[in-house]
Amino acid sequence: MRVLLPLAVVFLSGCAGGSPPPDWRLNSIAALNSFQQNYLRGDTRAADVEFERAKSELRSTGDPALVARAELVRCAARAASLEFDGCPEFEKLRADAGAEELAYYEFLSGRAERAPSEEPLSRMVSAGVNFKSGKITPESISAALDIASAQGWRRPLLAWLGVQEKRAEAAGDRAALERIRRRLALVLGPGVAEERVQTLGK
């Protein structure tokens, strides 16, 4: 959870020492972690259920800033998977967000710099932001692919393979293109891969 800096630092610091943390705190952390893993694995339905469970726990506090942090969690996972929508749900809560949340939002939007931690997802989010800002390098694309592959994160793996595919196609590198498409087919599975090949051939 440390990769989601604004949310994790506040939540986890409240769990150290002193009285036992309230149920909403523990439940929301568990749900957000489950959302993140399901989303990155490509299970959208399960991810949506867990995210709504987390938001329900956070709403029980009546604190919009906490819900705003949860929206940043979702936006960060989407950025790692090269899915950008401007974080509209965070925008609705922006007036009640704190300085750290606003700074992280600026980073996700590509308008501010932020050094990634050594956590795999932190590095993936940073790569996604750099891609959005047009600052990505071939080495960073390969590194993002390696991280997604090592973690078994199907959704960002497919997204970054798609980036490599377009670059190889633009460069006219047939050997690389065929290698990338074989890898895509492996991740997608037989039925989906065959449908994709037919679509590309049209």
Tell me what pLDDT residue 82 has.
97
Contact 99/132 with Cβ under 8 angstroms? no
pLDDT band at 101 (very low <50, low <70, confident <90, very high): confident
Model confidence pLDDT, tens digit, residues 126-183: 999 999 999 999 999 999 999 999 999 999 999 999 999 999 999 999 999 999 999 9
pTM of the model: 0.86
Round to whole Å and give the CA distance between 106 and 186.
36
Model confidence pLDDT, tens digit, residues 77-90: 999 999 999 999 99
Contact 84/74 with Cβ under 8 angstroms? no
DSSP string over 85-143: ---HHHHHHGGG--HHHHHHHHHHTTSS-----SSHHHHHHHHHHHHHTT---HHHHHH
Model confidence pLDDT, tens digit, residues 43-58: 999 999 999 999 999 9
Tell me what pLDDT residue 100 has.
85
Contact 187/157 with Cβ under 8 angstroms? yes
Token output for 1: 């959870």
